[in-house]
């Protein structure tokens, strides 16, 4: 059984469950589009799934009141291998979305629970898909870097930079500086938690978040996580993957 994700604020629970419900309703939409000949036979079942999603969404606030902050035990994972598997599973079925994945030749390890890493990447991907309205291209990459302005509390010699670039509308310059603040969003009310969660998770494991965006072109999210020293690295046999 996988570890439960760690939340620092109740409304982060609401956001993550809403993200899962979003994926479920998108899958229902895709089934309707992919199998129009079966609409009469399965539409009532699909509608029932949608109604369940809406019901759960309406009840989320009851769950958000009973969660306390803690930090999950440290765990080691290989970034490139984990990222490749996660991206393939998450984007499978989004027929309007293509992506390329280019990784650093060295599959470095970081110290972060697997479920926390999944939340980190899934929230970025969810934001990118919503920005592109589920239609566009994602460029995903990893690269080993040294940061000149490393986190002051626990600076590291080496970081892995995970970058996810979308082809959405971009972020207005007046919103960009405060985009990781809770409640700040380009997507309407009751939104603006995804990147706040990403920043929170990265910070808990001595990492950082950076955002680049150009209106009309797209947005790139950079996550920097410190790599672990003195471990055996796995050389990646395939540097680039396209879908």
The reply to whether 187 and 127 lie within a common domain is yes
The reply to whether 25 and 82 lie within a common domain is no
Check whether 218 has a pLDDT greater than 70: yes
The reply to whether 118 and 157 lie within a common domain is yes
Check whether 194 has a pLDDT greater than 50: yes
90 to 5, 24, 62, 180, 227: CA distances (angstroms): 17, 12, 28, 23, 24
3 within domain boundaries: no
The reply to whether 124 and 148 lie within a common domain is yes
**Residue closest to 196 by CA, chosen among 6, 9, 52, 2:** 9
- Which pLDDT score, from 0 to 100, does residue 10 have? 63
The reply to whether 55 and 90 lie within a common domain is no
pLDDT-derived band of residue 146, with 50, 70 and 90 as boundaries?
Answer: confident
The reply to whether 37 and 114 lie within a common domain is no
The structural domain count of the chain equals 2
pLDDT-derived band of residue 177, with 50, 70 and 90 as boundaries?
Answer: low
Domain that holds residue 230: 76-242
- Mean pLDDT of the chain, nearest integer: 78
Task: Judge if pTM exceeds 0.85.
Answer: no
Task: Name beta bridge partners: 137.
Answer: 98
Q: How far apart are CA 229 and CA 219, in angstroms?
A: 31
Q: What is the CATH number of the domain that holds 238?
A: 3.30.565.10
1 within domain boundaries: no
pLDDT tens track for 105-135: 999 999 998 888 988 998 899 889 888 988 8
- Which pLDDT score, from 0 to 100, does residue 112 have? 93
Q: What is the mean pLDDT of residues 67-90?
A: 77
């Amino acid at each position: 059984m996988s570890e439960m994700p760690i939340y620092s604020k109740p409304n982060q629970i609401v956001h993550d469950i809403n993200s899962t419900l979003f994926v479920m309703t998108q899958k229902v939409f895709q089934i309707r589009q992919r199998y129009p000949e079966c609409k009469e036979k399965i539409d009532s079942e699909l509608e029932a799934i949608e109604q369940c999603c809406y019901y759960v969404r309406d009840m989320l606030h009851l769950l958000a009141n009973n969660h306390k902050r803690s930090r999950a035990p440290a765990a080691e994972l290989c970034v490139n291998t984990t990222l490749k598997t996660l991206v393939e599973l998450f984007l499978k079925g989004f027929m309007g979305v293509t992506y390329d994945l280019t990784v650093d030749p060295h599959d470095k390890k970081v110290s972060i629970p697997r479920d926390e890493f999944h939340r980190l990447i899934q929230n970025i991907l969810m934001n990118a898909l919503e920005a592109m309205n589920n239609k566009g291209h994602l460029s995903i990459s990893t690269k080993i870097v040294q940061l000149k302005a490393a986190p002051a509390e626990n600076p590291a010699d080496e970081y892995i930079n995970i970058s996810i670039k979308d082809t959405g509308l971009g972020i207005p310059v007046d919103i960009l500086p405060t985009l990781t603040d809770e409640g700040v969003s380009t997507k309407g009310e009751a939104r603006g938690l995804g990147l706040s969660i990403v920043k929170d998770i990265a910070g808990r494991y001595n990492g950082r978040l950076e955002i680049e965006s150009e209106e009309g072109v797209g947005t790139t999210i950079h996550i920097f996580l410190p790599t672990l020293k003195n471990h055996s690295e796995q050389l990646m046999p395939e540097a680039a993957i396209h879908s």
